[in-house]
Chain A
Amino acid sequence: MVEAILMMLGLGAVCGTILGIASKVFYVYEDPRIAEVEGCLAGANCGACGYAGCSAAAVAVVGGQAQANVCIIGGPESAQKVAAVMGLDPGTAEPLRSLNTCQGGKRAEDRFYYTGVKSCRALAAFYGGKRVCHIGCLGYGDCIKACKFDAIHMDPKGYPVVDEVKCVGCMACEKACPKEIINVKSMSQRLLELNCEEDALAPCRQTCPAEINIPQYIAQVREGDYEGSVRTIRERNPLLLACGRVCPHPCESYCRRGLEDEPVSINQLKRFVADLEMNSGKRYPITCAPETGKRVAIIGGGPAGLSCAYFLRRVGHHATIYEAMPKLGGMLRYGIPEYRLPKKVLDWEIDGILNLGVDYHTNVKLGVDFDVGSLVSAGYDAIFLSVGAWNDYNLNIDGEDLEGCFTGIDFLSRIGLGEKITIGRRAAVIGGGNTAIDCVRTLIRLGAREVYIVYRRTRREMPANAVEIDAAEHEGVKFHFLAAPVRVIGDERGHVKQLEYLKMELGEPDASGRRRPVPIEGSETRLDVDMLITAIGQAPDVSFKSDVTRLKDLEITRRRAIAHDPITMQSAIPYIFTGGDAATGASLVIEAIGAGRRAARSINQYVTGQKVEAPPGVLYGRHIRETLFEHVEGVRRKPRAKMPELPVDERIHSFAEADLVLSEESAVAESQRCLSCCRLCYDPDVSKVA
């Protein structure tokens, strides 16, 4: 007997000692809160929460993937304890809500008849389902059967609709859906989702660089739910007033309706609902997730910076913007002129973002007034560099620095700042992009008599928005195409007098498929001008890179942009992220907004201790091949809504807004032209009429 007791004690002691030593030797740092949280759970290891046992659930809670109320057995008591450990208020912890993503048009066609059990799951096991569309909803409502709270019902079109009030986020529907169409996520998770190959996406939505749910916001306009429409846009784009005015809408070139008819005027509908909100005098409320206590510094208050700040704020982090200019807005304020985007509108929009609790400091420049080291010591957890592209390229020709010569951004930003610049009578602008067009249209409004555009290639190759080129032409701008400036000639007082250029002709196509202009020998021509603006593109100003203590490892590309991963937007330094023109070189507002959101997603991963990585199958910049049709049936031609404009002679004498907003009637009519596409399905006009 004694032996047995001794023996068991001995064995126990040996095991205990070994384990004790092992726990020291093999110690892996773990957030101490994990153990604390685990202590608050029921400890049954039952797995009902969907995690492999209580420890796994605790890890998920601390990692932010699970909510305080994760434990099914523990109930509200455990939720309260967990919330206390995590420093969350259980009442405000972000609720999970279920949402069905497949809401396309008319059902995708059936591929085969199925007479087995009426359940999505069984059906899905056969070649992924009976529908032609491999992500499409099967419509047998397994999610409805799975829901214990009666929160899902089938709408007449056969798609499950979730009642957000009844939904408790228990995940039962998500688990029941074999096609991963219905999913349960928190607001933050939805705000930071990226388009992926397997998602239910209309072609326009795949194209939008900010990934706005276009068919949904159009459907909401159609149903008269204008507030809902604004909300849908705000899930992806906080600058809808600005985009509604200046976006060149790449989405519309992929609109399915455009295959048979004119594309839906997607952007004007955005402007319509956005203006409606502004003019209603009140702001639709925007909700933010509970504070996380993480702080992010944002350098540059242009669209990229504002978008990043907005999304970070909404998912609960604290964002502070540092801006070099006196006011926020970046190129929206200092590049794009008043007649395209009134400052009053811009101010209203930016105030909406700042109202969420975003801090900002203006008139402070990175590299001059502060550096990255000071941000790090101020305790910021991550930094977002969105300094834009503000350095004009030079032509590198003689006489470029004569009096009366300007560069594009310099000229526009000085006008934007309210500076008075003496305008010539005959002005030439060199370049074919948005900046050049904005310069000429501004010059006309400032009273120049003759305004020329001098461009190396032809009108077809001009990168500016087509509508803008037309508008400039209507306003009286003269174009000199196929003209390559060779020198600027000054008068005796050092003032610009003439521009000499060579005529060009189009030669062989180059690598990009554009025919390259080649100079015609001896075709020198002189143009009399007394003012000259060079607007041939701009590059980011990365002079702050001279800070070698902190930014030694920051990589700069050949085109002077900040090197980054195009999805995570992380730079070569892990805690520094970038986006917008600073990362890509001069691009579009909507691209900057999308980049701001992608960066916010990665910054969220970074500051919450997750791995910064792109989701598998991320779609950014690509299309899902099967969704691009050759043609669509059942489309009845209906002309696209015409954009109302200020008459030419009225607009060339003032900076009043030139493009106007659609009337409610034409907006609703326009929304009815949308085919409500999903991947394969769409609503033919015929069925809508019938």
Chain B
Amino acid sequence: MGDYIVLAISCILVNNILLAQYLGNCPFLGTSKKMETAVGMAMAVVFVLVMAGVITWIVNTYILQKYDLVFLQTIAFILVIAALVQFVEMFLKKSIPALYSGLGIFLPLITTNCAVMGVCLINMKEEYNFLQALVASFSYAVGYGLALVLFAGIRERILLARVPTPLQDTSIALVTAGILSLTFFAFKGMV
């Protein structure tokens, strides 16, 4: 049990996928202008990442490793994740329209998001077992959401500040993201 908590903390804070590994930056900048969108995106990421983590683990363990085809990992994962997201989208649209209209527009956006891909590859590299892979995927996603929501809050504030013209909008956002990431480095020694 303890191991899993440590794993979770390390994935959420120490190795935060966004701020420590710098993966999934495009939506990080794109959807962090408004708190509402950020929250929507965070939820969608949690949803997709957990699914992708599980399915890629299965594909990896029972197909790729079995037939010694691990070198196909990247391309196989892309295929599987893309198909998975499409499937989930169709499923939600039909069966849970309410959830679909909440997440719907973000789902296709993360089909081949590098954070999703990255987490799946990390899971394999670390040779996690199934449960570990599940916990890690979920925690990475929570970390992603956390960073995104924090960042959206900061950006809403930045709008009130007097930013020199050349630095406005994306540039100041990147500078801020850098500083935010430095603060996350403070967790480095924890685990």
Contacts and interface: CB of A to CB of B under 8 A. Distances in A.
Contact of A125 (B71, B72, B86, B159): B159
B162 A19 contact: no
Interface in B6-37: 30
Interface string B62-77: 0100010101100110
B93 interface: yes
Contact of A53 (B91, B105, B160, B162): B105
Contacts of B159: 121-122, 125
A626 interface: no
Given A7-B69, A22-B90, A125-B159, A52 B105 contact: yes
A45 B105 CA distance: 11
Given A28-B94, A56-B105, A116-B162, A7 B72 contact: yes
B108 A4 contact: no
B80 A15 contact: yes
A4 B64 CA distance: 9
Given A4-B72, A7-B67, A125-B159, A19 B83 contact: yes
B27 to A, nearest CB: 11
Q: How large is the interface on A (under 10, 10 to 19, 20 to 34, 35 or more residues)?
A: 20 to 34
A127 interface: no
Interface string A18-57: 1100110111100000000000000001010000110110
A7 B63 contact: yes
B171 interface: no
A70 to B, nearest CB: 16
Contacts of A26: 90-91, 93-95
A421 interface: no
Most buried by B among A15, A27, A53, A122: A15
Contacts of B99: none
A548 interface: no
A117 B72 contact: no
B109 interface: yes
Interface string A113-133: 000110001100110000000
Given A56-B105, A116-B160, A122-B159, A11 B90 contact: no
Contact of B83 (A3, A4, A18, A52): A18
B87 interface: yes
B131 interface: no
Contact of A8 (B75, B91, B108): B75
A621 interface: no
A117 B162 contact: yes
B79 interface: yes
A22 B105 contact: no
Given A22-B90, A56-B105, A122-B159, A11 B80 contact: yes
A8 B162 contact: no
A11 B81 CA distance: 12
A117 B160 contact: yes
B176 to A, nearest CB: 17
A64 interface: no
Given A11-B80, A56-B105, A116-B162, A22 B91 contact: yes
Contacts of B69: 3-4, 7
Contacts of A224: none
A97 B76 CA distance: 50
Nearest to B88: A22
Nearest to A30: B93
A12 interface: yes
A56 B105 CA distance: 8
A55 B86 CA distance: 14
A41 to B, nearest CB: 14
Contacts of B156: 125
A124 to B, nearest CB: 10
Nearest to B105: A52
Contacts of A122: 159-160
Contacts of A52: 105-106, 109
A121 B168 CA distance: 14
A588 to B, nearest CB: 41
B64 to A, nearest CB: 8
B28 to A, nearest CB: 15
Nearest to B156: A125
Interface in B39-92: 59, 63, 67, 69, 71-72, 75-76, 79-80, 83, 86-87, 90-91
A122 B159 CA distance: 6
A53 B108 contact: yes
Given A26-B91, A116-B160, A126-B160, 20 more contacts: A3-B67, A4-B69, A7-B69, A8-B75, A11-B59, A11-B63, A15-B83, A16-B83, A19-B87, A22-B87, A22-B91, A23-B90, A26-B95, A45-B109, A52-B105, A53-B105, A117-B162, A122-B159, A122-B160, A125-B156
22 contacts: A4-B72, A7-B67, A7-B72, A7-B76, A8-B79, A11-B59, A11-B79, A11-B80, A19-B83, A19-B86, A19-B87, A26-B90, A26-B91, A27-B94, A28-B94, A45-B108, A52-B109, A53-B105, A116-B160, A116-B162, A117-B161, A125-B159
